Amino acid sequence: MNLVFSPVSLDEAERFYTLWDVTPQRSIDYSLVNLWGWEQHYGLEWAFDGKLCWIRQTCPCRTVWWAPVGDWNAVDWKSVLEPGMSFIRVPSALEALWKRELGDRLSSEPARGQFEYLYRSSDLASLPGNRFHKKKNHVSSYIRTYGEPDYHPLDDRMVEDCLALQDTWCQWHDCENSPSLTAENDAINRVLSHYERFRSLCGGSLYINGEIAAFSLGERLDGDTMGVHYEKGLTSVRGVYQTINCVFCRQECGQVQFVNRAQDLDEEGLRKAKESYHPAGFLEKYSVTVA
């Protein structure tokens, strides 16, 4: 393929969104918020060929392909995919399509740490039944201590407050000595500082006595799904994470059936936390090699 790659850029946002809108299965990894937010950390580059947006990762050590964005069903994959191409984070629908078209030329394996957790929005908004008893207790404790949640939707003032909270959170968690937390902090700052450039970004914050205590930042991925990119809160405030999760879903997710809360990256603690909210399913992803 004769492709000309350049760093992921907001200047090409509309070109990307045109292809994103016809992508059959929309993983949160491939949203413009995620691609641009992590562009510097992963060295993410893209190239447009008319039908597809091709994406590759150039850091930290070797170049590897991500799945292309666009109408996968309109592509002759046998003539497009070349021997030796190696892909990561390939959504299950595309992996299945490639298997049908390429047969033995394709080898793949599930990447469990990249599976994206899907929850019913109604579950997260109402925390029904015994399954969510502990979560509801945390929210009730928050309300008893701080009153009914004071929720504010995304606006210019909220962005400034979120940036300040993120800075405080990083100081408490010693981000400077953690490469992964430093990278996440950079991504959050990039996205928040340019939030008005993204088409479907939404979010909200909790305030206690006029001071920000938590925020959540999400994006409508498709007609049925809201993706949650970032969620931060003051760890000194009991129940703050359960409450921002619940209230964000009540306020922002009423028009969708599912909430995508991204992957666990094979981190045991993160996996346990995500499983504790009883996912309804997963958007599975695969590592793929073409022979």
Based on the number of CB atoms within 10 Å of its own CB, is 95 exposed (0-12), middle (13-18) or buried (19 or more)? buried
pLDDT attached to residue 1? 76
Distance CA 199, CA 244 (A): 23
DSSP 64: E
The answer to whether the beta carbons of residues 229 and 259 sit under 8 Å apart is: no
pLDDT attached to residue 137? 97
For the chain, list residues with pLDDT below 70. none
pLDDT attached to residue 277? 97
pLDDT attached to residue 156? 86
What percentage of the chain reaches a pLDDT higher than 70?
A: 100
Distance CA 8, CA 135 (A): 38
pTM: 0.96
Q: How far is CA 233 from each of CA 49, 81, 204, rounded to the nearest angstrom?
A: 42, 44, 12
Distance CA 242, CA 238 (A): 9
Q: What six digits make up the tokens of 69?
A: 């964005």
What is the per-residue pLDDT across 81-109, written as a single tens digit (0 to 9) for each? 999 999 999 999 999 999 999 999 999 99
The answer to whether the beta carbons of residues 84 and 224 sit under 8 Å apart is: no
What is the per-residue pLDDT across 198-217, written as a single tens digit (0 to 9) for each? 999 999 999 999 999 999 99
What is the per-residue pLDDT across 213-246, written as a single tens digit (0 to 9) for each? 999 999 999 999 999 999 999 999 999 999 999 9
Residues 6+ apart with CB under 8 A from 231: 214, 215, 216, 217, 241, 244, 245, 248
pLDDT attached to residue 50? 87
Distance CA 220, CA 222 (A): 6
